[in-house]
Amino acid sequence: MASGFFALLDDIASLMDDVATMTKVAGKKTAGILGDDLAVNAEKASGFMSSREIPVLWAITKGSLLNKLIILPIAFGLSALLPPAITVILTIGGLYLAYEGAEKIYEFFFPHAHESGPKVKADLPKEEVLELEKKKVKSAIITDFILSVEIVIIALGAVAQETLPVQIMVVTAIALVATVGVYGIVALIVRMDDFGLKLININPEDNSFSDKMGRVLVNALPKVIKSLSVIGTIALLLVSGGIFVHNLSFMHHLEELIPVPGIVFEFLAGLLIGAVVLLIIEGSKKLFKSFKKTPAAHQ
């Protein structure tokens, strides 16, 4: 009986060792997308009154955890019952990531007007402020759902050859760490300017050390968010390119024929495929608009 107990402990230790190893592998696979996740969520969580930033961020975090509770069982079910579906979803996710990266680059060179989202102002009635907050939180949770699907599927693809218990523990760990890590860092980012103002006001002396540090933090906030956006765009193209190279055989063969480093090829693959998807989507939008205008022209 004792030998059976120790054998069980040995099996558990071996399983946890496998889980730790595969969590590192899956973590590396999903790390690229977290830069974009950070930039998006930092933007979504900003624009509130200072006193409401943390409560709103907590509401988004709870929505993110609920998203994971919905996504994880579905992903594990597909992995167990229909494994090829994971590759298909992963490739579709890669197309979305490539499109998003290419669209951001296109927007940088050819900026166009966007509809401005609801802005929370201090002089609005309390009921209206809360209603606008709900809309922004809902929008952030929807965006988080899309990003969560990508993270879970990429992590699941990295451990697709492992047993189901290992898959469940590894992907669940990645999902939870991503949520806590991303929203923890977002909380620090959105409060950076407030902390800077506190340092500036900590003493009445001008040009003191606390004043200088405070001004650095206040001025750094927009630059941090912008740099995260750039890093996130590069990460989107690298992650999507890696998905194509590792899951599409013709892309893997093409990589062997082109004498460039793997990371460069993956970036170019993500950029080119993203550009094609962007052209198709933008062309479809223009075609749809022309069809909508045609009946009006004949009246």
pLDDT of residue 140: 79
pLDDT of residue 271: 92
pLDDT of residue 219: 83
Confirm if 154 and 239 have CB atoms less than 8 A apart: yes
pLDDT tens-place string over residues 133-173: 788 788 778 877 877 887 888 788 777 777 778 788 888 88
User: What is the share, in percent, of the chain residues with pLDDT greater than 90?
Assistant: 6
Give, in order, the Cα–Cα distances in Å from 245 to each of 22, 75, 240, 279, 297: 21, 22, 9, 21, 47
Confirm if 120 and 47 have CB atoms less than 8 A apart: yes
Q: Give phi and psi for 202, each to the nearest 5.
A: -70, -25
The domains of the chain are located at 13-293
pLDDT tens-place string over residues 86-137: 788 878 888 888 898 899 899 888 876 554 444 444 455 667 767 777 887 8
Q: How far apart are CA 147 and CA 89, in angstroms?
A: 13
pLDDT at 184 exceeding the cut of 70: yes
Stated pTM of the model: 0.68
CB atoms within 10 A of CB 135: 12
pLDDT at 288 exceeding the cut of 50: yes
pLDDT of residue 35: 60
